[in-house]
Chains A and B, each alone.
Chain A
Amino acid sequence: MDPVKTECESLKDLKAILDKAKEWEIQLLLIGGWAVNAHVGAYRYTKDIDLVMKTADLGSLKALMKYRGYQVEDRRIYIAGQKETEDVQLKFHISIGDIVDKSRGMALAYSLDENTYRNAPLLPIRSYYQQCREYELVAPTLPINNLFITKLLPVGRVLDVVDCVSLILTCGKELDVDFIAHQAVKNNLADAIESRLESIARDVASGELERIWMGHTGQRISKKDRNEIRLRFLRKLVTRLRQLRAP
């Protein structure tokens, strides 16, 4: 597999799919690691591209992916599109309606409403390799508050913790505690999110977060930043969640 070619082809195909989707009036949003990268510059993310679409567009989207030469597999909660050439393999995962996480042994679903699609920012998608600069594009991306919720759903992956922390540190002011808490309660995700927030807070307090962060990024995480994450942000969000759930 040629990494440079893979990245260039991924960017080219993403643009082609988004352009065609717009023409066919299918709304698609970038989610996952590529979305974190678009918002704050993710530290590590895989080459596979994650998107979300409305359930009503399923048929058209499958047709679009096939039209672009992808083998399409319907896996009920998402469709997987795969295209292979001699030295490049491209994969898209497109969530259908809800963004579903199964890392806790049960399905947690986060539904996006019409406003999310309407308010999605168009963000620049940067390439890692210089040779792929010409294929950089702008893509409709899951808004930062919704993205933060999706990053709190999976458990056990260090990368998600790094993503959450980088979202807090880089865009802390844009993260709306009230909105996140309301969305969590509305989607029956409050318990899952609260336990995740508590686990991250424990990692901050024990120094585990610092170890993870340093290992990944080669950067120190200052005491001020640790306090910002734990005391200002996580505690505020947990408090708001509890207030909303109180009878």
Chain B
Amino acid sequence: MVWLPEWAAKSYTKLYYRFRDGPFDFARAQELFGYGKAKTARTLQEIETSGLLHKGRLSTDLRRKIYHLIPLEQFALAFALSQESEGIEDKLRAASKDFQYVVNGAAAAYKYHGYMTPAKTDIRIHKKDLGFWIALLKEKGIQIAIDEILAEKRGQVIHLHTNLTEETFARAIQIEGIYYTSAEDLVLDFFRHPTDTSLLDALAIILTHTEELDWKLLAKSDVAQEIGFSMEALNKEAEKEVFSKKLVKKFAQRETVHKRFSISAELLDLPVDYHNLAKNWNLEVNIPPRVFQKAVADLVSRSSGPS
């Protein structure tokens, strides 16, 4: 982040007076400046380099490139915090005092299980703080994705989700000064939207945090059947009681509805014992056993319970 040169600052104020933090495209900026294409591009580039402008795409028409200005107050706060911090983790730590956010998804899961590195950092924030977060986190080599507008270039991606709620933040856990989605919320989220990797993330958390998790909360959830089935599948693959019968039983106490538990659109050919196990949980399962086998092979200690 750098201060704008005076000539670019004048252009910023012109744009801000006209658009505030709303979207505008290149043609409208050019029209407002009254410059040629090259000079308009250079001006916008200069403002973007300073951290006062974010380039993205229109959510309703992804072919159209648009710009958003970062309000000066949010920029100033981000500038102040970035002066005393180096790297993403430092910046998040610094922002913890004044802003609400939670690190979510695979990056949060990695903080708990330390098993599978995350490909991007998902952060849930309040929509009103978006400008601040863009200004704070944007730096060389970092691509910012916002909600459904994804990063354009390859590199380290920070995905900002403007859907933070007070309830989620209240349940967040602060680890080394950074707010993370609680392990229970992550497990529930991964089971609600299972994919190949999110399920592995969920299994890794329940295997590595057996002692710390709030099992009552998980057992009362809308995905208790799926979690209960997965615990039994892990026991089966490990050929031992990784999770005690007493604990698994807690998940069977909730009234169940017949559900499909699947990570694939394609119908997989599963062993009969998996289908039988699923029937006990009133589930129609379409999860390849290799997901459970991988979790067991990598995370279950041969000598005792989960590592």
Asked whether A and B interact, the reply is: yes
Chain A residues with CB under 8 Å of chain B are 1-4, 6-7, 37, 42-48, 71, 73, 82, 84, 89, 91, 103, 128, 130, 156-159, 162, 169-170, 214-220
Q: With a CB–CB cut-off of 8 A, which chain A residues contact B59?
A: none
Q: Give the shortest distance, in Å, between A27 (CB) and chain B (any CB).
A: 25
Confirm or deny: B151 has a beta carbon within 8 angstroms of a beta carbon on chain A.
yes
A3/B120 in contact, CB under 8 A: no
Confirm or deny: B126 has a beta carbon within 8 angstroms of a beta carbon on chain A.
no
Q: Quick one: given A44-B119, A46-B116, are A89 and B151 in contact (CB under 8 Å)?
A: no
Task: Tally the A-B contacts, defined by beta carbons under 8 Å.
Answer: 93
A7/B114 in contact, CB under 8 A: yes
Q: Which of B97-121 contact A (CB under 8 A)?
A: 106, 110-120
Interface string of B173-201 (1 = CB under 8 A from A): 00000000000000000000001110000
A1/B113 in contact, CB under 8 A: yes
Nearest residue (CB) in A for B302 is A82
Q: Give the shortest distance, in Å, between A215 (CB) and chain B (any CB).
A: 7
Confirm or deny: B125 has a beta carbon within 8 angstroms of a beta carbon on chain A.
no
Confirm or deny: B9 has a beta carbon within 8 angstroms of a beta carbon on chain A.
no
Nearest residue (CB) in A for B144 is A218
Main secondary structure of the interface of B (DSSP, over half): mixed
B151/A218 in contact, CB under 8 A: yes
Q: Quick one: given A1-B307, A89-B307, A220-B150, are A156 and B288 in contact (CB under 8 Å)?
A: yes
Q: Identify which of B132-140, B152-160, B235-243 touches chain A.
A: B152-160
Nearest residue (CB) in B for A89 is B307
Tell me, in angstroms, the Cα distance from A38 to B238 when the chains sit together.
32
Q: Besides the contacts A1-B113, A159-B197, what 7 more A-B pairs have beta carbons closer than 8 Å? A: A2-B114, A43-B119, A46-B298, A48-B298, A89-B301, A156-B290, A157-B196
Main secondary structure of the interface of A (DSSP, over half): mixed
Confirm or deny: B143 has a beta carbon within 8 angstroms of a beta carbon on chain A.
yes
Interface string of B272-307 (1 = CB under 8 A from A): 000000000000000010100000001101110001
Instruction: Report the count of interface residues on B (CB-CB < 8 A).
Output: 37
Q: With a CB–CB cut-off of 8 A, which chain A residues contact B5?
A: none
Tell me, in angstroms, the Cα distance from A48 to B204 when the chains sit together.
13
Q: With a CB–CB cut-off of 8 A, which chain B residues contact A217?
A: 119-120, 151, 154, 157
Nearest residue (CB) in A for B143 is A219
Q: With a CB–CB cut-off of 8 A, which chain A residues contact B112?
A: 3
Confirm or deny: B145 has a beta carbon within 8 angstroms of a beta carbon on chain A.
yes
Q: With a CB–CB cut-off of 8 A, which chain A residues contact B302?
A: 71, 73, 82
Q: Which 10 residue pairs of A and B lie closest in terms of their CB atoms, listed nearest first?
A: A3-B114, A43-B119, A218-B157, A158-B196, A218-B120, A218-B159, A218-B145, A89-B307, A219-B151, A220-B150
Q: With a CB–CB cut-off of 8 A, which chain B residues contact A43?
A: 119
Q: Give the shortest distance, in Å, between A225 (CB) and chain B (any CB).
A: 10
Tell me, in angstroms, the Cα distance from A153 to B195 when the chains sit together.
21
Confirm or deny: B36 has a beta carbon within 8 angstroms of a beta carbon on chain A.
no
Q: With a CB–CB cut-off of 8 A, which chain B residues contact A44?
A: 106, 116-119, 197
Q: Which of B89, B157, B303 contacts A219 (CB 8 A)?
A: B157
Q: Give the shortest distance, in Å, between A205 (CB) and chain B (any CB).
A: 15
Q: Which of A3, A45, A73, A128 contacts B113 (CB 8 A)?
A: A3
Tell me, in angstroms, the Cα distance from A46 to B87 when the chains sit together.
23
Q: Which of A1, A42, A218, A219 contacts B114 (CB 8 A)?
A: A1
Tell me, in angstroms, the Cα distance from A73 to B297 when the chains sit together.
13
Confirm or deny: B96 has a beta carbon within 8 angstroms of a beta carbon on chain A.
no
Q: Quick one: given A1-B307, A91-B298, are A47 and B290 in contact (CB under 8 Å)?
A: no
B301/A84 in contact, CB under 8 A: yes
Confirm or deny: B49 has a beta carbon within 8 angstroms of a beta carbon on chain A.
no
Most buried by A among B110, B114, B302, B307: B114
Q: Quick one: given A103-B290, A158-B196, A215-B195, are A6 and B157 in contact (CB under 8 Å)?
A: no
- Could you list 11 examples of A-B contacts with CB < 8 Å? A37-B117, A46-B116, A48-B298, A71-B302, A158-B196, A158-B197, A162-B119, A218-B119, A219-B153, A220-B150, A220-B151
Q: Give the shortest distance, in Å, between B43 (CB) and chain A (any CB).
A: 26
Confirm or deny: B208 has a beta carbon within 8 angstroms of a beta carbon on chain A.
yes
Most buried by B among A6, A46, A157, A218: A218
A130/B87 in contact, CB under 8 A: yes
Q: Give the shortest distance, in Å, between A186 (CB) and chain B (any CB).
A: 28
Tell me, in angstroms, the Cα distance from A217 to B153 when the chains sit together.
11
Tell me, in angstroms, the Cα distance from A1 to B301 when the chains sit together.
12
Q: With a CB–CB cut-off of 8 A, which chain B residues contact A4?
A: 114
